[in-house]
Chain A
């Protein structure tokens, strides 16, 4: 596990110019617009960047080689979730700090009640994203996983359209107002439980894919 984390940290460090560029872009965005958006941008960007280490692992039959080292399927999958989750969480913390600082620079004081829910949602979305992306990337590889992601987004869009057509446009607003009516603590707890359940299921699926994959 420690060896794999070391590898991924070193691989992601090779993209430091990209990370720095995105950080500067986020700060500019934070100073000129709603600074809370930085949290979303940076968290999602860093999660996607961390998941891309799977593509690096696959280069030049690297995945076969990795499994000749003291690495089991479970260790590999576990490390990916820890590393990608860790990167997303670190980016989120950094983004929250930037958000508060840039907000204060613009003379805005943070509204803890609202901001914590919005920012927490970004973390929730990032967790769902990595739970979706890791098994897809492992299953389809770097090229085909992009197609798979496009297909999934398209399917979600179609489902949303169907809901809107079948139940009417108001159904979306009703869902939204229902969510807004849930007390923040209960909503956060539901999101947390849902996140853990999705990550756990995704981890098990990733292990299964790796076990059945002909390397």
Chain B
């Protein structure tokens, strides 16, 4: 669905260098700290930002040359962009009906009612959660093959987040060949829905791993200085100095569990992956 090869974009000191692939029928997460390059990567994939070099293909086409017909097959939800705040949901229904031949008006209206989105109130009067729901529903409102979602659950409470994730699951169940690229800073959301995760840091992809592998095999060893000196470091990805000694991030926690039964080992998650690999672990 999406294939980026050495796609580079430079803004002053920041340089995006993107190599990643989102195949058919996969839900891929793109994680990283604020300013890591997630939004720039997404804009580059949509052709909104043009790469200086390298290539980004979306559904086999150059991202920068996507036509209106190609975009009809892509549903997009951006974290901080949407319809003009002076429009209301009723306006949005009419606009989308004219914009997309495959617009599912009944579904969209039903979902808006289900999510308590008023039809006649201007979007500017919506709460953060209501705006987020409207953005996600807009992206899902037409028959798409690819969904690109930038922080779709940002600013939502647990219940609303689950509603959004359920919508995404429904979308995938309708057609298993559909793909989703999703960014989120909430690890729990990604762990429950993504097949694989890319970690981006300072504009570069530094890890790509299946979510199951991250959850099953990654872990953090907490060791004192003596144990650290004797520790086999072959499978240690990164070590960080702590008050008690060292926190060591590994992709083979079972190896250490078997060979060093006295060591305290915490299961690794996406949050740990981000924090350990981008220098924010405490």
Which secondary structure characterizes the binding site on chain A? helix
Contact A64 B72 (CB under 8 A): no
B79-105 CB mask vs A (1 if < 8 Å, else 0) is 011111111000100111011100000
Expressed in whole angstroms, the Cα–Cα distance for A214 and B96 within the complex equals 25
- A72 near B85 with CB under 8 A, answer no
Produce 1/0 per residue, A62-76, CB < 8 A to B. Answer: 101101111110010
Count residues on chain B whose CB falls below 8 Å from chain A CBs.
29
Cβ of A31 under 8 Å from chain B: no
Chain B residue contacts of A69, Cβ below 8 A? 71, 76, 99
A111 within 8 Å of B by Cβ? no
- Chain B residue at minimum C-beta to C-beta distance from A10: B91
Q: Which of B74, B82, B85, B95 contacts A7 (CB 8 A)?
A: B95
Q: Which of A14, A60, A61 has the most CB of B within 10 A?
A: A60
| B81 contacts across to A, CB distance below 8 A | 60-62, 64-65, 68
Q: Min CB distance, A86 to chain B, in Å?
A: 16
Residue among A56, A60, A68, A72 making CB contact with B80, cutoff 8 Å: A60
Specify which chain B residues have a CB less than 8 angstroms from the CB of A7 in the assembled complex.
Answer: 83-84, 87, 91, 95
How many Å lie between the Cα of A2 and that of B68 in the bound state? 12
A170 on the interface (CB 8 Å rule)? no
Which of chain A's residues 77-128 have a Cβ closer than 8 Å to chain B?
A: none
Q: Tell me the A residues contacting B by CB distance below 8 Å.
A: 2-7, 10-11, 14, 56-57, 59-62, 64-65, 67-72, 75, 214-215
Bound Cα distance from A67 to B82, whole angstroms: 11
Q: Report A-chain residues with C-beta under 8 Å of the C-beta of B46.
A: 67-68
Q: Are A62 and B84 in contact (CB under 8 A)?
A: yes
A2–B80 touching, CB < 8 Å: no
Inter-subunit contact A68/B76 (CB<8 Å): yes
Q: Decide if B100 touches A11 in the complex (CB within 8 Å).
A: no
Tell me the smallest distance from the CB of B132 to a CB of chain A, in Å: 13
Known: A10-B87, A64-B43. A3 touches B80 (CB 8 A): no
Q: In whole Å, how far is B281's beta carbon from the nearest beta carbon of chain A?
A: 33
Q: Are B87 and A65 in contact, with the CB atoms below 8 A?
A: no
B114 is an interface residue with CB less than 8 A from chain A: no
**B91 close to A72 (CB less than 8 A):** no
A93 to B14, CA, bound (A): 53
Name the A residues within 8 Å of B82 (CB-CB). 60-62, 65
- Interface check B49, CB cutoff 8 A: yes
- Does B67 sit at the interface, judged by CB under 8 A? yes
Assembled-state Cα–Cα distance A56/B72 (Å): 23
B49 proximity list for chain A (CB < 8 A): 214-215
Distance of A62 Cα from B98 Cα, bound (Å): 18
- Residues in A whose Cβ lies below 8 Å from that of B86: 11, 14, 56, 59
CA–CA, A59 and B85, complex, Å: 7
B123 to chain A, nearest CB (A): 9
**Sample (13) of A-B pairs whose CB atoms are under 8 Å apart:** A3-B96, A7-B84, A7-B95, A10-B91, A11-B87, A56-B86, A62-B82, A65-B81, A67-B46, A68-B148, A71-B99, A72-B68, A75-B68
A62 to B84, CA, bound (A): 6
A62 to chain B, nearest CB (A): 5
Minimal beta-carbon separation of B13 from chain A (angstroms): 16
B234 at interface, CB cutoff 8 A = no
**B110 CB within 8 Å of chain A:** no
B84 touching A71, Cβ below 8 Å: no
A68 with B48, Cβ < 8 A, contacts A11-B84, A215-B43 known: yes
Least CB distance, B229 to chain A, in whole angstroms: 51
Q: Specify the chain B residue showing the minimal Cβ separation from A67.
A: B48
B71, B84, B85, B87: the one within 8 Å of A68 (CB) = B71
Closest to B131 in A: A60
Q: How far is the CA of A56 from the CA of B124 in the complex (A)?
A: 12
Residues of chain B within 8 A (CB-CB) of A2 are 98-99
B258 within 8 A of partner (CB):
no
Q: Closest approach, in angstroms, between the C-beta of B56 and any C-beta of chain A? A: 15
Considering the complex of A and B, which 6 residue pairs feature the smallest CB-CB distances, nearest first?
A: A3-B99, A61-B81, A70-B68, A68-B76, A65-B81, A2-B98
With a cutoff of 8 Å between Cβ atoms, the chain A residues found around residue B130 in the complex are none
Q: Is A56 touching B84 in the complex (CB atoms < 8 A)?
A: yes
| A14 to B55 CA separation, bound complex (whole angstroms) | 43
**Which chain B residues lie closer than 8 Å to A10 at the CB level?**
87, 91, 94-95
Check B78 for interface membership: any CB of A closer than 8 A: yes
